[in-house]
């Protein structure tokens, strides 16, 4: 009898303990959620509150979707700048890298950054839409300049079976609208211009780019007071050693020869072809997606122009951010965007696979190609001055939109990034 009583009391005690621990944990999560702004679509926390500086990076918890999501919001709120004590003062150049899940290419980019002249004065901002211990370890291993990581809080990784991920109740991509309406799938009324329904992995890049643009210019505390351009890169880019030197030269030339240039393009897609002849040559022209979307430098003034076109960006039926920006140039932005563009590219594209090609990625080939390109470019680096060799008028270049962005849910989410600023 005594054993049964003890057993019953022990079970009751364990039950009470479980309830108390659960309540304590729930209360703690609620408090932390309020502190980090769990409902804020910017992913940065309550409006008007300065982020809490932590002594170290946020420890990511990959135990569950909710814990991973909490880690993302906490990191965006705290904004821990790595190496800030080692490299005090305002940054001289800000580079923003959009990162997905190609760690070998990311390592190549970081290797190029480490070799770049004046890198100690950089602030590197890595914007992630895929979260892993491997990628965090790679980025947090950087010791040569200040580093900030920000995390896209509407990644498909965080929403694997609901919007903005792929909901199993969504319409299949190639289902006809007639059949979709009959079946009652979630987005039956909103195919794209070509009759196709959304694919989450296709829409994510455009979402991430727009969110990142807002977050960098509106939320990143380390950018306050910075008046220079922010240079936008991707994980499969590789910068040449004189990147900073060339950027400064472009800034000086812009002051004297192209004060109305909106953007800088430090890269192009020609690699190092004829680099020794083109190394110090630049031209002015209208911004074009296929030419100027690599190593693109954006000022705060141009950011505000783009932000004023949030509705147009978010509803234009093209899943590519760069083609969408080209559409805005000369439509919503009345005066077409003018760019000062390098003819000798300071940014190489190393990726041999991407959004549409997932197989047969060979980063070791990219590494070999980079080494060959560096040898080719070596003699032409660090030109003493730049020469403006062409002045073309900036005109609106219409194109056929690519679709993939017809779902009204994408439109609403995209516009909400700006509304919550």
The annotation status of 327 as a binding-site residue, yes or no, is no
For 419, phi and psi rounded to 5 degrees?
A: -65, -30
The annotation status of 206 as a binding-site residue, yes or no, is yes
Instruction: Write out the DSSP string of 136-152.
Output: HHHHHT--SSEEEEEE-
Instruction: Write out the DSSP string of 315-378.
Output: HSSBS-HHHHHHHHBTTTBSSPPEEEEESS-SEEE--S--SS--S---HHHHHHHHHHHHHHHG
Burial class (CB in 10 A: 0-12, 13-18, 19+), 32: middle
| 6 Cβ contact partners less than 8 Å away, ≥ 6 residues apart | none
Round to whole Å and give the CA distance between 392 and 187: 44
Burial class (CB in 10 A: 0-12, 13-18, 19+), 94: buried
The annotation status of 50 as a binding-site residue, yes or no, is no
Q: Which two tokens stand for residue 4?
A: 């049964």
The annotation status of 399 as a binding-site residue, yes or no, is no
CB neighbours of residue 185 within 10 Å = 18
Torsion of CA 98, 102, 107, 108, to 10 degrees: -90
The annotation status of 389 as a binding-site residue, yes or no, is no
- HSE-up of residue 84 (Cα within 13 Å, Cβ side): 14
The annotation status of 349 as a binding-site residue, yes or no, is yes
The annotation status of 320 as a binding-site residue, yes or no, is no
Q: Which two tokens stand for residue 220?
A: 């990143």
Core vs surface per residue 344-381: b (16+ CB within 10 A) or e:
bbbbbbbbebeeeeeeebebeebbebbeebbeebeebb
The annotation status of 205 as a binding-site residue, yes or no, is yes
Q: Which two tokens stand for residue 218?
A: 């509106």
Q: Which two tokens stand for residue 159?
A: 């929403």
The annotation status of 343 as a binding-site residue, yes or no, is no
The annotation status of 100 as a binding-site residue, yes or no, is yes
For 143, phi and psi rounded to 5 degrees?
A: -125, 0
Beta bridge partners of 233: 97
| 259 Cβ contact partners less than 8 Å away, ≥ 6 residues apart | none
The annotation status of 260 as a binding-site residue, yes or no, is no
Annotated binding-site residue numbers for substrate: 98-102, 129, 204-208
Annotated binding-site residue numbers: 98-102, 129, 204-208, 236, 349
Annotated binding-site residue numbers for Mn(2+): 236, 349
């Amino acid at each position: 009898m005594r054993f049964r009583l003890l057993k019953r009391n022990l079970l009751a005690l364990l039950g009470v303990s479980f309830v108390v621990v659960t309540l304590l944990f729930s209360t703690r999560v609620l408090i932390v959620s309020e502190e980090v702004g769990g409902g804020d679509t910017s992913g940065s926390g309550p409006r008007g509150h300065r982020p809490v500086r932590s002594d170290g990076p946020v420890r990511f918890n990959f135990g569950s979707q909710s814990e991973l999501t909490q880690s993302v919001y906490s990191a965006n709120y705290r904004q821990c700048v790595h190496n800030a004590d080692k490299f005090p003062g305002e940054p001289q150049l800000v580079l923003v890298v959009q990162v997905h899940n190609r760690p070998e290419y990311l390592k190549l980019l970081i290797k190029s950054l480490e070799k770049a002249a004046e890198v100690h004065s950089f602030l590197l901002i890595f914007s992630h839409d895929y979260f892993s211990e491997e990628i965090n370890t790679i980025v947090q291993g950087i010791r040569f300049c200040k580093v900030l990581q920000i995390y896209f809080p509407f990644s498909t990784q965080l929403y694997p079976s609901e919007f903005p991920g792929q909901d199993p109740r969504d319409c299949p991509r190639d289902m006809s609208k007639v059949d979709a309406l009959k079946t009652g799938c979630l987005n039956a009324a909103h195919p794209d211009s070509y009759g196709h329904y959304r694919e989450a992995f296709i829409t994510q890049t455009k979402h991430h780019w727009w969110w990142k643009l807002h977050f960098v210019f509106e939320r990143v505390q380390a950018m306050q007071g910075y008046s220079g351009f922010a240079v936008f890169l991707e994980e499969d880019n590789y910068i040449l050693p004189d990147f900073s030197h060339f950027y400064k030269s472009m800034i000086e030339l812009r002051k004297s020869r192209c004060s109305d240039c909106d953007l800088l393009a430090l890269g192009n897609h020609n690699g190092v072809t004829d680099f020794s002849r083109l190394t110090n040559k630049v031209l002015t022209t209208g911004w074009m997606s296929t030419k100027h979307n690599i190593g693109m430098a954006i000022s705060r003034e141009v950011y505000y122009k783009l932000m004023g076109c949030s509705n147009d960006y978010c509803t234009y039926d093209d899943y590519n951010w760069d083609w969408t920006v080209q559409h805005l140039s000369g439509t919503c932005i009345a005066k077409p965007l003018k760019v000062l563009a390098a003819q000798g590219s300071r940014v190489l594209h190393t990726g041999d696979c991407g959004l549409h090609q997932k197989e047969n990625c060979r980063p070791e080939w990219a590494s070999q190609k980079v080494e060959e390109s560096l040898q080719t470019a070596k003699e032409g680096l660090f030109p003493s001055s730049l020469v403006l060799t062409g002045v073309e008028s900036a005109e609106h270049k219409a194109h056929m939109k690519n679709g993939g962005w017809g779902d009204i849910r994408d439109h609403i989410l995209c516009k909400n990034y700006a509304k919550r600023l």
